[in-house]
Amino acid sequence: MKVLVPVKRVVDAYVKVRVKSDGSGVETNNIKMSMNPFDEIAVEQAVRLREAGTATEVVAVTIGPQQAQEQLRTALAMGVDRAMHIEADAGVEPLAVAKILSAVCDQESPDLVLLGKQAIDDDSNQTGQMLAALRGWPQGTSISKLEPGDGTVTVTREVDGGLESLELPMPAIATVDLRLNEPRYPKLPNIMKAKKKPIEQSTTADLGVDITPRLKQVKVEEPPARAGGVKVSSVDELIDKLRNEAKVIQ
C-alpha cells in the first residue's frame, strides 16, 4: 500500500499572528514557520502504517514557495520515504490544491491519501473533500482512528451522536483529527540525514494545473478587543444587562 501525505507550511501554532498594517494579510516575514499540526498527525499515521508493514511506501508532497522544502525535510526526518515539492506562490486556494493533488495522484497512484482535516492559517477544511470529489474516491473526514484491512480501510469519526465507523474501499482519502495520534519528535540523526535526501521538484505548469485565484481577499483585520467583565449584585441586574446592553434576550 502506498500512502500519499500532503503537508502545508504555516505560521507556527505557538506564534502570535499579527495583521499587516495595510490589512492585506498576516505578517510572515521573520516569523517562525512550521508544518501544519494536522498534517503532522497525518505524517505520523502514515509512518506508523509503514513501520507496521501495512504500507510499503510513504510519499510527502507540499505546494508552495522554495522555503516549503523545510517542512518536507521535517517529514523526511519523521520517517517519510520520499518527498515532492510542487513550486507555487504562497496562498494557493483549496480547489487549486485539490487539482494539483489529483494530478499527483495520477502520477503516484496512491492507495491512501492522508491529509490534515484543515490548515490552521485559513481553516478552510475543504481540500480533502474537493480531492475526493475530483477523484471519485470514497472519503472519511475528521477521523480519530484508522484500521487498514484487505483492500479497505476502516475509519472512525466523532459525530454529534457519538462515533461513526466507515469501511472505505481503496484507493481512499481520509482527513485526520487531533485524537488520531501524537506525532513524534524527529531524532537529531534523522534530521541530519533528511538534510541530504533528494526532493523531487516540479511546477504547477508541469502538472497542467491552472492555479489562478477564484477568490478575492478584501481585507484582513484584528478581531475587536474583548471588553472586560463586570460583577452584578443581583439576578435582576444581570437580566437587565442581558436584555438592554448585550441584547441577547428579549
Mean pLDDT to the nearest integer, 180-188: 92
CATH number belonging to the domain at 2-244, selected among 3.40.50.620, 2.40.30.10, 3.40.50.1820, 3.20.20.70: 3.40.50.620
Residue pLDDT, tens place only, 48-97: 999 999 999 999 999 999 989 999 999 999 999 999 999 987 678 899 99
Residue 29's pLDDT is 81
Biggest CA-to-CA distance, the chain = 69
What is this structure's pTM? 0.85
pLDDT-derived band at 122 (thresholds 50, 70, 90) equals confident
- Helix ranges (H only) for the chain are 37-51, 69-78, 94-108, 127-135, 188-196, 204-207, 235-244
112: exposed, middle or buried (C-beta count within 10 Å: 0-12, 13-18, 19+)?
buried
